Structures are given as structure tokens and as C-alpha cells.
Amino acid sequence: MAGLIAFSNSPWASPIVIVLKKNGVDIRLCIDYKMVNAITVLMEYVMPLVDDLLTELESYLWFCSLDAASGFWAVMMTQRAREISAFVCALGHFEWLWMPFGLKNAPMIYQRIIDNALWGYMQPRGGWASYAEKVRRAEAASATQRGRLSDPNHPTPDSVNSATKFEADHRALAESDPLQDLVNSPESDLFANGEPDESTLTPVFDRRSFVDDICFGGTTFEDCLATLSRLLARFAECRISISFTKSIFVQPAVDFLSHEVSQHGIRANPAKLTAIAELPFPTSKKGMQGFLGALNYYSRFIQNMAVYGAVLYPLKDADFADGGDLAAAKLAFAELKTKVANAPILRHFDSAKEVHIMLFANAWALSSTLLQPHDGLLHPVRFCGRVLKENEVNYHPAEKEVLALLHILKVGHTLFAGKTLHVYTRFSTLEWVFISKSLYGRAVSLAVLLSPYHLKVKRIRELDADFAQLLQATATPHIGLDESLSHLAPPSKNSATVRLDPELLYAHVPHDFVGHVLSFDGSAKTEKNGGYGSCSRILWSLPSWDIVIAARAHLPSTTVNIAEYTGMNDGVMAALERGLTDLIIVGDSRLAIQQSMEVMACKKEALQLELARHKKLTDQLSSVRYLHVLRHYNAAADSLATEALESKMGRVVLSSDRKTELKELNRVSEILYTNTDSADSGEPRAEMTVMTRRQTRRIHFEDEANKGSAGISHNTGLYYKEANSLNSRAVGLQFESPRAPKRVRRVEDQAEVEVSEGRIPDATDIGPAVVQAERRRRISKAQDEERRWADLKALQRGELDSLTHRRAQNASKIADSFVLSEDGLLYYQGQRRCRAEPDSADISLRLVVPTTMVDEVLLSCHNSIEGGHQGIVRTFHRVKAEFYWVGLYADVSKHVQTCEDCRTSKSKPQLRGYSPGNVTSEYPFQMVSMDFVIPLPVTRRGNTALLLFQDHFTGFVIAKAMSETGALEMAKAFEECVFRRFGAPSLIRHDRDPRFMSEVFQAFAELMQSRSRATLSYRPRANGQQERSVKTMIQTVRAMSKTHSRPIGTTSPRKWCMQLTTRETRLGEKHRFTWCTAGMPSRP
């Protein structure tokens, strides 16, 4: 450390970390500059890539690999940098005189110095030789001053007769150092403050270094020596030293950046590959990440690395615990170690030879191989690949191979410029993309991305032996590889191999469970509607389901997902404040629940902060379980969040009436409780619902248990079974327990009908009137289960005691539109209008459909034979004629659009062309379009062109005859015809004519504070209204020129302007008007 550091009086101080070196004796001083780097502005300087430095070596036979001496310690520090680099240790407070390791911008500064030396960008004033002489004199003066301070024969007034080294260093702080003065002077800073002379240096060679590692070569031994001599002379001039012991001079093979470079190609460092191949299977996630990181550096040597490594990437610490399934991971680990041990020598990319690309893609990864011909065979140049993204997994295999091609084109973009690429693929999609004229969807974007390249696609069929013979032994063909990799398939999101614990994802508890449940919800408005939101949390005490705390909060600026996280985190915090240690978290946000369980990755920074907060809170709990439910089961929390969103106020629920309402809305218990102990605990038995096309009947599960479980599926505690007969209309039948006699009970008259033991009762056992009455009773009961309709019915009956003031007030606002029948059914009273007689209307009653029966109504009115699978409008009018509920049209639209029968049996919908860039206007002369009509016959006044201006809103056209069509004349015409009469428009629409795009017209538009917007060169229909006017004007001028003997310019402007007064259909009964330069509007 001699001469590298000095005592410091800096206000800065960073801690140190002592690291023991491999020999076990020496230590390495490491300084933790974490806080300094956090406030340091990153220097923008392009660092070289390892892949780029390993290219353009194909013509060399002799190589040199040099390592600069001292590394960063060769760069002196300015006074300000010295103070920032200060650190503390047991011996005192020190600062660096030379640039240390660990600073954020140190690599960029050193790389810039080496690049300047290699390429000769700039030099100090007077040249490098003059600056080097100044540095030597400053160093000599600094050494003399330090010797004087430490010499006992020349004491200073404040010193004693003898001075130690530390004392001399302390005295040096009080005096100015000549070398430090030179470093801090402007002439030493070539990149910021100084004004360097124009460099007369030429580049040594056309290659860069990787920080302090430099590799170059020569076609002959003498050529390599000459390049080495030029480089050493340049470094001597720039005061850069080379480490002789670490450098390799003029050898047929050298080691560079852990790669062995020779005339035959590039190979990975054998010692490092051997160390990787001998690694045992990791026992932790961190160990696996280290293994994959080592492989990633040598990924260009490993064919199909992403294919084999995909199963290793998602491993977690829990997978390495006892009981974890690591069978596929161990197989992939062994395969990758075998590939590492047999890593091939990759040939140098030769720009003079053909380029061949072999593609492969399977269900989870992409792989591509770059090949070039050598000695009659295709040798690998590099391998690359990646794992498929979540949205790419469902792509067609042919589209996945296109992604593999795009990936290698991105990696080797600079290598493939201007070359013909021979692509080998298992599908003909690539060739079809270039010749098809009817591309649609994703194929369009793929074709655009591939358009800059010249590809020759060849399809390789299964078991193509001819192609396999063309490959060198180190490159494996991909024929039949899918089947051999099936055992290495990684777990996907929807596959059965996802290692999730169902008890954690869907927490279930028995009915006698004692504990606490947290339900939460969040909602938000879009930015267009304010961007605010709300959240709610309710803490329940089981088994009584009493509310411990219920609260809502208003969020001024948020999104839906952040609001969901906020409600969940606030609820966990409320549970911790009450000393709870076990908690079940229930919500309808799949994203928040599954990200909290680490089932779904969290990629957004805003959500990562909320997720980290949630992890910090749940770490304080001894047990936490999650349950994701549908929204209608989480109605209590949803109700609170909706109230906060509407009122924009937060509050804690204290009213007992409100808590009772929340308990009535709560349906979490239907999902949370298990279904195994209901019979023993005296709870109501689980029922099986037999679904028919039009109605539902409930049967006790025990009565059907002995008939087998065929067709029965478990779903949230209920058992569903499809009815065999579509015409079954049995409603209201409830079977008694097997312990009781088999009887069928009618609901209305309680009359019992004896049923034989061998026959199941059906609808024929009950009269139509009883069935209809039971159906109406069930609809009425379903209406009573929704608070909106229950409040209306209570208000209609006059039962105001059961309603709160607020609920009664809300119900009275809409009570006039509803009536109540004698048997308790609620109807909507509306007017039914006829299209033929819109002024006439009669009163009609429409049945109010509860939410639980909306699907049945839609199935009856759309999917049934009577419904006929009509479209949205016809189905809407059919439903609206008899039924009513809130959001009727939206539900009908969604049902029809998602109907599988309609989507698979009806013809393809009419698809309008893509219309990016079109704009609309809201008032006259908000947007004005303009275009030229040229060339036209020369008039007596010398006019040869017409300049058309058109108002986009009304279609109003202005025509200006011109003899000069320059940018200045065009701007004057715009001022005369548009600006002086109607003012400046907000937007000027035009094509990419050079006169419109000129600086003159753009400055004119800016002067008017109007925005100028040009259409795309290949899409004139973006300004279609103006193009249509131009076409009409050309046709009019051509027709009038044939029918009139005089030139068009001598006729009255009203005659040919009248040809443009056509009806404007998009504005209904309005017309398009035309304004001529004569100043008179034409009549429509």
C-alpha cells in the first residue's frame, strides 16, 4: 500500500472488509463503497461486450494477450475524489491517492483511458510527450518535498528532530503536493474542463480492450511483432504499463477472458470447465444459481442449454428440503455437466463464408445454432437460446421457431448485416411469411421483424439423414429431440407438475375451527376518471364469525392491484396490533394472493414494494394461510371498498347495524369450511345440484352416494351433476334421508305421493300449477337474498322497521319504477316502445332477475331452441322484453361473445382494417387537412396547381389556384385562405410532401401554435378525406377540360367548385361546403 494511500481529513468515511486470500496468510483490503455509489451519478460510457471482443479473429495465426499493470491503481485521483474515497480502519482515517477498486465509475474511467490510448482520440496540450515530462518533474518535486519533511536534518518549525513515517504523512497534509496540483489542474482533465489539442495519433489497431485485458494478433509472426511494438510505444507515451508476468506474447494460442483463442477457433478454459463438471448437485437455491451463473458465461459452447436448464431456473429453497421432488432437476444437472465436459471448439465467424442457422423450439425453450462450412462440413460458431416467456408458451411450434430465429438475429445482428442466411427449420412458416399476401395477427409482426434480413428457408423433415451428415460431430441435429426431452419438462403454470400444496393455496378448516380470518378488497378508478381508489379489511373471529374490526380507507392515487395489497397489508397490521399469531387471509385478488405465496412472479416495482411490506408483516406471524375466492363470496369486504370509493372517505365501522349487514353479506364460510364432518357435527348436509337447461333442483348427497361418483366433480363444497335429459323440468323436489321412507314432498299443499323403491320421482308426479308456484317461490326467495331487492320489497310492504334510514332512503329513490305481486315477486314497471310508432308507449311489467339466476335466463333466451343463438342486439331485446336487472346489456353482450357454439358455428366476423394514427375532430376547423392537385393544364394566369384545404369536421373545402408551389408560397396561401378567415387550427394534417415537411412551413405552423402531423408514407388512408377530395377535384377538372374550349382557369370558380358539393353522409343531413378563392361559398 506504499504510496497508494495517505492520511485524510475528509468528512467522508467508508468502512472496510478484510478478505483472506487463497494462501490463507495474506489479506485483501476491500472497502464498502455502497453508500458512496448510491449517490454517485453513473458515467455514461459504453463498455465492450465479451462476445464482441471474441469476433474478427479469424484471419490471425499469432496472438498476444496483454494485461495492464496495477489496474485501476495507475490512475491518479483528484482532490475531490480523494476526499470521497476516504475510509476508516483501526489505524486511522485514510484516503486514496490512486483510483481504488469498488467505485461505481472506476471501470468506465479506466476503459476510457485505455480506449483513448488505443485509438488516439485526444491528447493534452503540447502532446503526450510534453505532459509526461511535466508528470516526471512533478513526481520528482513531490519526492523531494516528502524527503524534506521526513529528514531530521531539515526540521520544520513545528517538527521535532526526528520524524516517523506516519508523522511525515501527517505533515504532508499541511503542504501542497506538486503532483497533486498537476492532477487537479485543467490541463490534466482531457474529457471535461480542458481544451485538448487535436490529436495527431492514429489507432494502433481496430480492436478494444476489456478494461485492462487486451487481445490482438497478426497474420504472420512479423506482423504480430510490429503491432506489439506500436502498442508498447503508445502505452509508453501515455504512461500505461504492461504486466510482463501476466501477459502472453506472440503465441499460436493465448488465454483471453477465460477463453482459449487460437487459429482453429475459440474454446472455453479447460481448467474452469473441469471445475464446473466436478461440482456436486447443489443443496440450496443459492448454490444452484452459482452453477447456472458459471454455465451462463460459457453458454455459447453449450447446445440447448436453455432446454436443459429450464427445469433448474424455478427451483426454490423449499424444493431442496426433505420431500422435495428433484428427480427432473438432477437429470438436467447431469446432462448439463456432460455437455460442459464435452464443450466443442467453436470456429471463428468468417464474413467471407456462408451463414447457416439451425432452429429448434419445444414447449418451454428456444435454441438456435450458428453454423459455417469448413472442410465440407457445417461447424458450429456459437449456440444460443432462452426460456419461453409466459405468453409465448401457447404459441404454435412454428411461431416458436421464428422466435428462436429472432433471438439469434438479435445476438449476432452486426455479423449478419448484408448477408444471405440459410435457415433450417422443421416448419414451412418462415417461407410462407415472406410470400403470403394475406398475413394476419401475429404473423404480421413477425414478418416485419424479419424483413431487414435475406433468408433462404429450408425445411428439414423428420429423420433427414442427408442433413445430419452435413453437421460436424459437435453439433447435434434436432430431429426427434422432443420425445427424448419429455422427462426434463419444467413445471408450467397450468400443468399438473407444479409443486404447490393445495392446503396452502386453498385453506380449509373444520366447522369447529377457532381462529381468525382476514378478508380484504380494493378498487380504483382509471387515471381518466381521477385515478383514486379505496381498500377495505375485515377481521373475523371464528367460529362465531364476529367482526373484530372492519375498516375502509380512501387512496388518493393508486391502481387496483396496489389497492388490493394495501387492504391486505393494513389487515395484517391490524391483526398484529391485537397480538394474533395465526391468520387466514381471504381475498378475490388472484394476483395479490398468489404473489404472496410466491406462486406468481412479481415484476412491477410498485407491487414489489407492497409485496416486500407484506412479507415483512407476515414474518411476524407464526402461521399464515391464503384462500382465493370469487368476488361474490367476498361481498362484505367488497361492500366496504365500494362505499369508500363512492364517498372518498375512510372510516372504521362501529355501528352494530352495519356490522350485522356485513355478516349477512359474508359468504367466505361456504368456501372455507371442509365438507367431511358436516353430518357428524349436525350441520346441514352437502347437497348435489342437478343442473338442467332451464332450472335447478337440489338433492341430498347421501341419496345419490350409493349410485357411484360418475359425472360428479368437486367445486367449492357443492357437487354438480349434468342431467341426462334436456327436457327435465322437475323443480322443487327434495328427497328425504335414506333412513326415512322414500317420499316426494310437495311444497304448496304438503301432499305426499308414494314412490316405489325402484323409481326416481320426476316432473310428471306433480301438476303444472304446483311446479309454477314453486318456481315463483324460489325466484322470490332469491330476490330476498340480495339487499337491493329485499329493501325494495320491504318498502313496498311497508315494513320500514327492518330498514335503516339510509337503506330506506335509497330504496325510495327507485321505488316508483317497481311493483310487488301478491305472491311476493318484484317486477320492474317500464314503457315498451314500438319502432314503428316511437311516440306511443304502453306499460309493461318485467320480472326482476336476481344475480344468481342471470345465467339461467341468458341460457334460456340465447342457447335454447327458442333463443336460436341470435346476436347481441336480438338477444338483448328478447331478454329485455320480459326481464330486468342492473347491467342487462353488458351481461348479454358478454354471454353472446363468449358463447362457444356461436364462435365455432357462425362465420368469421368482418374485420376492419388496421387504423393506427387516425384522429377525430370535435368542432369546425379544429383540424385542417391540405394537399396539392398537380399537375394541371397551364392557365392564362400561369396557374399549374391547386392547393386544397379541407375542414375535417364539416368537410368544408377551400381551393387555391397557384403558379408557384414553394414552401413560402404555400404558407402564404394557408394564411390567406384559412388563418385570416377561420383562425389557427389545432392540427394540420398532410402527407410527407417535402414542401409540407420543410422548415419554412413547420416554423409557420409553430408560429400559429398549430401541431403539424404527417401521415405515414405507406398509409395515405390516414388522411383519406383529403385524398378523396383530391380525386374528386381531378375528375372534375378533367371532365370540364374536355367539355369547355377555354382553359379551366378562365372559367368561373363557382362552376367547378359546385362539383364538390356532395352530401356528407357521416354528418347525417349536413352537406359539404366548398369555398373558392373568389370568397363566395357555393350553395349545397
pLDDT tens-place string over residues 924-957: 899 999 998 887 778 778 888 889 899 988 888 8
Residue 458 binned pLDDT confidence (cut-offs 50, 70, 90): confident
Joined grid coordinates for residue 1001:
412551413
Compute the average pLDDT of residues 1010-1033. Answer: 76
Q: Angle at the Cα of 302 (from 297 to 305), degrees rounded to 5?
A: 90
- Provide the pLDDT for residue 74: 80
**Is the previous residue joined to 994 through a cis bond, with omega within 30 degrees of 0?**
no
3-state SS, residue 351: coil
β-bridge pairing 87-89 and 62-67 = unpaired
Is 102 exposed, middle or buried (CB count within 10 Å of its CB: 0-12, 13-18, 19+)?
A: middle
E-state strands within 432-472 = 454-459
**Are the CB atoms for 14 and 86 separated by under 8 Å?**
yes
Measured between alpha carbons, how far is 577 from 617 in angstroms, rounded to an integer? 11
Q: Is pLDDT above 50 for 1073?
A: no
Q: Is pLDDT above 80 for 505?
A: no
**Chain centroid, CA 57 distance in Å:** 39
Give me the long-range contacts of 106-109 (CB less than 8 A, separation at least 24): 106/72, 107/47, 107/211, 108/43, 108/45, 108/47, 109/43, 109/75
Greatest distance between any 2 Cα atoms in the chain: 130
- Provide the pLDDT for residue 445: 81
| Of 619 and 676, the one with more pLDDT | 619
Neighbours of 499 (CB within 10 A): 12
| Start and end residues for every CATH 3.30.420.10 domain found in the chain | 502-672, 927-1076
What residues form DSSP beta bridges with 562? none
Closest residue by Cα to residue 239 from 183, 181, 316, 162? 183
What phi and psi values does residue 17 have, to the nearest 5 degrees?
-135, 130
**Average pLDDT taken over every residue of the chain:** 77
**Residue 1023 carries which DSSP code?**
G
Closest residue by Cα to residue 945 from 929, 963, 967, 969? 963
β-bridge pairing 1011-1014 and 1074-1076 = unpaired
Q: Is pLDDT above 90 for 550?
A: yes
- Provide the pLDDT for residue 640: 92
Q: Choose the most confident range, by mean pLDDT, from 115-124, 186-195, 206-215, 735-744.
A: 206-215
- For the chain, give percent helix, strand, coil, nearest 5: 40, 20, 40
Measured between alpha carbons, how far is 811 from 788 in angstroms, rounded to an integer? 7
Joined grid coordinates for residue 604:
412491477
Residue 154 binned pLDDT confidence (cut-offs 50, 70, 90): low
**CATH match for 502-672 among 3.30.420.10, 3.40.50.150, 3.30.70.100, 3.40.50.300:** 3.30.420.10
Q: Angle at the Cα of 151 (from 149 to 153), degrees rounded to 5?
A: 120
Q: Tell me the torsion sign for CA atoms 955, 960, 964, 968.
A: negative
Measured between alpha carbons, how far is 48 from 29 in angstroms, rounded to an integer? 28
Q: Is pLDDT above 50 for 627?
A: yes
What phi and psi values does residue 677 have, to the nearest 5 degrees?
-115, 20
Encode burial over 735-760: b for 16+ CB neighbours within 10 A, e otherwise.
beeeeeebebebbeeeeeeebeeeee
512 φψ region: left (φ > 0), alpha (ψ -120 to 50), beta (else): alpha
| Of 250 and 418, the one with more pLDDT | 250
| Start and end residues for every CATH 3.30.70.270 domain found in the chain | 271-488
- Provide the pLDDT for residue 918: 61
| Of 147 and 825, the one with more pLDDT | 825
- Provide the pLDDT for residue 547: 93
Lowest mean pLDDT among 160-174, 856-870, 990-1004: 160-174
Lowest mean pLDDT among 60-64, 458-462, 496-500, 607-611: 496-500
What residues form DSSP beta bridges with 286? none
CA dihedral 731, 735, 741, 742 (to 10 degrees): 50
Q: What is the pLDDT of residues 50-71, one digit of tens each?
A: 888 888 888 888 999 998 887 8
Q: Is pLDDT above 80 for 304?
A: yes
Joined grid coordinates for residue 13:
468515511
Residue 165 binned pLDDT confidence (cut-offs 50, 70, 90): low
Q: Is pLDDT above 60 for 1064?
A: no
Q: In terms of CATH, what superfamily is 927-1076? A: Ribonuclease H-like superfamily/Ribonuclease H (3.30.420.10)
3-state SS, residue 232: helix
Class of domain 271-488: alpha beta
Q: Is pLDDT above 70 for 757?
A: no
- Provide the pLDDT for residue 565: 93
Q: Is pLDDT above 80 for 469?
A: no
- Provide the pLDDT for residue 548: 93
Q: Which CATH architecture has domain 812-905?
A: Orthogonal Bundle (1.10)
What phi and psi values does residue 857 have, to the nearest 5 degrees?
-65, -45
Residue 149 binned pLDDT confidence (cut-offs 50, 70, 90): low
Residue 523 binned pLDDT confidence (cut-offs 50, 70, 90): very high
Joined grid coordinates for residue 206:
481496430
Angstrom distances, CA of residue 764 to CA of 724, 728, 770: 16, 10, 11
Q: What is the pLDDT of residues 312-346, one digit of tens each?
A: 888 888 888 877 778 888 888 988 888 888 888 89
Q: What is the pLDDT of residues 703-713, one digit of tens each?
A: 333 333 333 33
Q: Is pLDDT above 50 for 915?
A: no
- Give counts: helices (H), strands (E), the chain: 39, 40
Residue 821 binned pLDDT confidence (cut-offs 50, 70, 90): confident
Measured between alpha carbons, how far is 327 from 308 in angstroms, rounded to an integer? 13
Is 554 exposed, middle or buried (CB count within 10 Å of its CB: 0-12, 13-18, 19+)?
A: middle
**Residue 4 carries which DSSP code?**
T
- Provide the pLDDT for residue 475: 63
